[in-house]
Amino acid sequence: MTPLAPPPLVVAPVQRPVMTQYWADVVFLHWRYDPAIVQALLPDGVEVDVFDGSAWVGLVPFRMEQLGFGRLPPVPRLGTFPEVNVRTYVRSGSKRGVWFFSLDIDLLLPMLVARGWYRLPYCVGDVRHDRDGETIRTQVTRHRPRPDADASTDIEVLVAAATAQGPLTEFLTSRWGLITSGRGGRLRYAPVSHPEWPLYRARVERLTDNLVVAAGLPEPVGRPHALYSPGVPVRVGLPRAIRS
């Protein structure tokens, strides 16, 4: 596995977005994993990206706001909802991006659209993500596509005043696209652009999680690497096939 330089902090904006949105009150929790364990869950043609010899698996709650399509204004009522995703970082051909194991939200329609258009493994259930001062609380109980009492999370994070930076922080947060497996196993890449993250250190006060294990991964070991961002506006481009 050939090491690559970290992705750049900022890229050119997506000129013709399929979707626009704002990601608010984002919490990044990451654990080290043996690359072979993560690689076993990826399809042919997708290779796990590593930092310091490890794959990194993230549990990332945030609040989706102002979701809009193309040049249309944000969708009323349905354009704001909490989301919690389990993800890792991969490359395929010349592309580097995020690979999602699961994405939990509390609305059925966005789940159906994302599963159909982007082939993303969205799930729906009871999801909450709230900020009270410097405390962020997240809860998930998954119901669809199938009821699963073990697919749940309960998180409380305290935001620190200190800003966060460094090579690992850049590796975990500077990602400019997502890679998915479409019909027939064909791989696709959708570009994503946003301003540089404003990032702060965070401390986990409470964490009871089964979403990572429900994705097929072993239970994470140790305290997670924790970051917080108040958020950024985001533009998502059209997914296209990845050339071998």
CB 35 within 8 A of CB 48: yes
The residue to which tokens 């702060």 are assigned: 200
The whole-model pTM stands at 0.92
The residue to which tokens 């249309």 are assigned: 72
Q: Where are the alpha helices (DSSP H) in 43-155?
A: 108-117
pLDDT by residue for the chain (244 residues), tens only, comes to 555 676 777 677 898 898 899 999 999 999 999 999 999 999 999 999 999 999 999 999 999 998 887 777 767 667 799 999 999 999 998 899 999 999 999 986 655 665 556 678 889 899 999 999 999 999 999 988 766 567 999 999 999 988 888 999 999 999 999 999 977 789 999 999 999 999 999 999 999 999 999 999 999 999 999 999 999 999 999 889 998 6
Task: Retrieve residue 160's tokens.
Answer: 């620190």
Domains annotated for the chain, with CATH where assigned, are: 19-241 (2.40.400.10)
3-class SS of residue 146: coil
Calpha distance 183→100 (Å, rounded): 16
